[in-house]
Amino acid sequence: MPPKPLVDLNAFDLDRLEYGPEEIRKRNPHRFEMELLHGVIAWRPEEGLVIGEHRASKEHFWVRGHIPGRPLFPGVLMVETAAQLCSFYWRCVYPDQEKFFGFGGIEQTKFRGSVVPGDRLIVAGRTAQLKARRAIFDCQGFVENRMIFECRIVGVLV
């Protein structure tokens, strides 16, 4: 049984982005195939909440080889999408930090479904701890309001 969602997605306009790709690039260094966070739907620092999206396309690099004839968005890339969302949040709070904010750990990860080309993965993150040198986020991913994954991401200065 999945845990309770971190956020009620119905309370947000999921068709409206607060931050698009250009704004994300100002905060996250990922480029080309590794730009997995396609938009930020909501950034609510007063609630410790961020919601973003990844739009799985048949043109993405993973489709050809993960799994031929039945392409699945790899779980590790789902978690990477969540990490990019968390990094975006952290960078909004600490914009003057020059070091890269990257993975320190991934905990309590469970996959509950799949993401295929044509799906829109909505990722929600909520801060459990937020400091300049370390942050912890609880994250969940959804496709059509169905929880696909959950994890806890630890981010650190690298």
Domains in the chain with CATH codes: 9-157 (3.10.129.10)
Query: Considering Cα of 53, then 58, then 59, then 60, what sign does the dihedral take?
Result: positive
* pLDDT tens digits in sequence order for the chain, 158 residues long: 779 999 999 999 999 999 999 999 999 999 999 999 999 999 999 999 999 999 999 999 999 999 999 999 999 999 999 999 999 999 999 999 999 999 999 999 999 999 999 999 999 999 999 999 999 999 999 999 999 999 999 999 99
pTM over 0.95: yes
Q: Which of 38, 54, 60, 66 is catalytic?
A: 66
The yes-or-no answer on residue 38 being catalytic is no
C-alpha distances out from residue 94 to 1, 41, 130, 157, Å: 36, 20, 10, 11
